[in-house]
Structure 1
Amino acid sequence: MKILERYQGWLHALGWALFAGLPFLTLPPFLWNQQDLLSIGMAQLLVGGTIATCFYYNLRRLTPEFLATQHLNRFVLTLLGMLLVVVLVRIACFYGFPPGVHYSPRGRRRQFTPWPGTLSASLSFGFAMILSSLIALIRHHARLRDQQQQMALGKVSAELAMLKLQVSPHFLFNTLNNIRWLARQKSQKTEDAVVKLSQLLRYMLYQAQRDHVPLTQEIEHLHHYIDLQQMRLNDRQTVDFAVEGPVERLQIEPLLFIPFVENAFKYGLHGQEAGHIQIRLAVHGDELHFSVQNPDFATSGASSEDSGIGIANVAQRLLLHYPGRHNLHYGTENGVFRVNLILEQLSSVQYAMTT
């Protein structure tokens, strides 16, 4: 389709050249002389120009207006009016008004009737109108398809933006609660917590607005969040965050892992109870494995309303941003909540820069 659009000017020129030259192949032998060929050529050029004018009028205005308004009567009447114009031009060019007796250059008396030529012009006009209407229909459907694709892309972009906004306030609310807890304890870590929070907010305000970010930035964001949360942990509560593989090569959708980590801190640590959170991120080629494991101290498990919002948002974002290229499993078993996420066919940072 794109190739046809690129060379449509040449295709139109070739088509009209064939249309104008074809009648000369059917001329009777007595007309093959210079004077008759010149007059016939001028007449054919005028008739062909009239049909070409009708062709482009139907292509660019008549059929598109009919598709938009569905006014069949107006469409048919306009076509009949254009056909009448073509027939009258054909008669005037080849036979004059009124059609009658004509003499060939050799002096032979011949009686011409306009009806065979009129039928030929009518058939040519009909073929041109059918072809132009088909082209207009193809363009109309292509335009509708493009509009539907743009609407779908716009809807996906809006949904992704909404989901990101749902993640950010939830994350900010939990972080401010942690800083408030440190302030009440008059902890010297409060200032460090504020600095960490500023780094987190800077990431959320600037980097998270992009479609993709380098995976290293997302990992750094997780480190900042974990460091901030660890300020309020006791000796019996530990966090283990390990990263493996060439993470610097890949890029990823921002704020994709933080809801799982938030969930682990919210429901995997409780009061003075012992608890251990284990977070793993590994890269193998263009495939990423992310997992979180923590005790489940939630009264109704990880499917409770509060924790379910963040995880549901991630699941929806995965469907929108990585369709057919992700595998997500999570749930509680034997008092341990586990998340396992696999992302496939991730693009590289170098590829994103070159495109």
Structure 2
Amino acid sequence: MLWILIGSGLLIFSPLSFNITLPEEFWVRQAVLFVVMVMIFYVNKEVLVPKYLFTTKTTIYLTIILSLCVLFMFFIEYFENLIHLKEAMHKAFHPDGGKPFKPKKDIFDVFTLLLLFLAAGISTSIATVQKWQADEVARKELDQQRIQTELNYLKAQINPHFFFNTLNNIYSLTSIDVERARTALHKLSRMMRYVLYETEKDQTLLSKEIGFVKDFISLMRLRISDKVQIDLQIDEEYEDRVIAPMILLPFVENCFKHGISSINQSYINIRIHVHEGQLVLETVNKIYPKNVNSPENNPHGIGLANTKRRLSLLYGNDYTLDINDSNPDQEYQVKLKIKI
């Protein structure tokens, strides 16, 4: 389509504005010129630009393409002389024969040379744009592969981190109440099914993610003492949407890891609700000193750090995370908003 437009505009419609009857030799020359322009276009686009220009051999490229255009210009001039075009054009413009024909001695046809340069320039531009587009697609594919690999790695770290803590809880419970330990194992098995099947997907239903969090909190209730007060507020009615699996657990888990004291009264406040298209998680717990040398007791440990990275990779600017651990009340406060 593009070549039809160029050929028609430059080589057919423009000559028709001469208001004279053009000889057949002229149209033959136009057809040859069109073929030459197409040849330069594709030779330049498919061979010269990739082989020389894209490999930083600019001087060689310019030498070849300029020489090629000049060479084809001479070919067009030779072809015009071969078919006696100039003499035929003289007769078309002077049908009365009043002015004798004098052949030009110029060897350069500037107009023809400019047309050939135009074909070469357009082909160079198109080849450059196409290469840029291909490179951009390849870069995005590599970025996507890198992000997916990193997400898989982060999830692989989060899951063992969670099970390590949960199994420790059940181990402690077996020496206190076997029946409660069995109940804990049943809940853990249900949670394991969620981890095994849902984390293989990029997204899961919000109802499943909230159900998983509820199971976790219920499991933790079996272990903690009466000194810990848990205020849990989770919306029961909300529009079920999709969310990244296990994105809420590290924040909830963090409350139980670092907000419980074996001596003092403790409290954990957890609220999950949906507001104006955003999932909102708010947690508050008291900060109790732990063994800072233990990676499992580090409040900025592996699970939370990886979750922050996952949030950044998955949601970009569609989430906000505010963590306040330096307030006068010695509380660890988290407010996470995710656009869903």
Task: Give the alignment's TM-score, normalised by structure 2.
Answer: 0.85
Displacement after TM superposition at 1:239 (Å): 2.5
CA separation in 2, counterparts of 1:111 and 1:200?
97
Q: What amino acid does structure 2 have at the position aligned with 1:55?
A: F
Residue in structure 1 matched with residue 37 of structure 2 by the alignment:
51
1:204 aligned to 186, 195, 199, which one? Answer: 195
Label 1:160 to 1:127 Cα distance change in 2 as closer, same or farther (>3 A): same
User: Which structure has greater helix proportion?
Assistant: 1
Residue in structure 1 matched with residue 68 of structure 2 by the alignment:
82
Residue in structure 2 matched with residue 187 of structure 1 by the alignment:
178
Superimposed CA distance per residue, residues 163-200 of structure 1 (whole angstroms, 9 cap, x where no aligned partner):
22221111010011112122333511222222222221
* Higher RCO (CA-CA < 8 Å; seq separation 6+): 2
Label 1:245 to 1:220 Cα distance change in 2 as closer, same or farther (>3 A): closer
Aligned-pair identity in percent equals 24
Residue in structure 2 matched with residue 311 of structure 1 by the alignment:
304
Residue in structure 2 matched with residue 338 of structure 1 by the alignment:
333
Where do 1:213-224 residues align within 5 Å? Answer: 213-224=204-215
Label 1:160 to 1:215 Cα distance change in 2 as closer, same or farther (>3 A): same
1:277 pairs with 2:265: no
CA separation in 2, counterparts of 1:172 and 1:59?
58
Displacement after TM superposition at 1:204 (Å): 1.4
CA separation in 1, counterparts of 2:27 and 2:37?
15
CA separation in 2, counterparts of 1:114 and 1:262?
91
CA separation in 2, counterparts of 1:28 and 1:152?
60
1:232 pairs with 2:212: no
1:155 pairs with 2:146: yes
Label 1:111 to 1:222 Cα distance change in 2 as closer, same or farther (>3 A): same
CA-based RMSD of the aligned residues comes to 2.9
Q: Is the 8 A contact 2:235 2:274 kept in 1?
A: yes
Q: Is the 8 A contact 1:86 1:121 kept in 2?
A: no
Task: Give the alignment's TM-score, normalised by structure 1.
Answer: 0.82
Displacement after TM superposition at 1:215 (Å): 1.0
Label 1:180 to 1:94 Cα distance change in 2 as closer, same or farther (>3 A): same
Q: Is the 8 A contact 1:238 1:276 kept in 2?
A: yes
Q: What amino acid does structure 1 have at the position aligned with 2:66?
A: L
1:136 aligned to 127, 141, 149, which one? Answer: 127
Displacement after TM superposition at 1:97 (Å): 8.6
1:266 aligned to 254, 257, 260, which one? Answer: 257
Gaps of 5+ in 1: 1-9, 347-355
Gaps of 5+ in 2: none
Residue in structure 2 matched with residue 353 of structure 1 by the alignment:
none
CA separation in 2, counterparts of 1:100 and 1:254?
78
Residue in structure 2 matched with residue 321 of structure 1 by the alignment:
314
Label 1:67 to 1:171 Cα distance change in 2 as closer, same or farther (>3 A): farther
Label 1:65 to 1:89 Cα distance change in 2 as closer, same or farther (>3 A): same
Label 1:245 to 1:180 Cα distance change in 2 as closer, same or farther (>3 A): closer
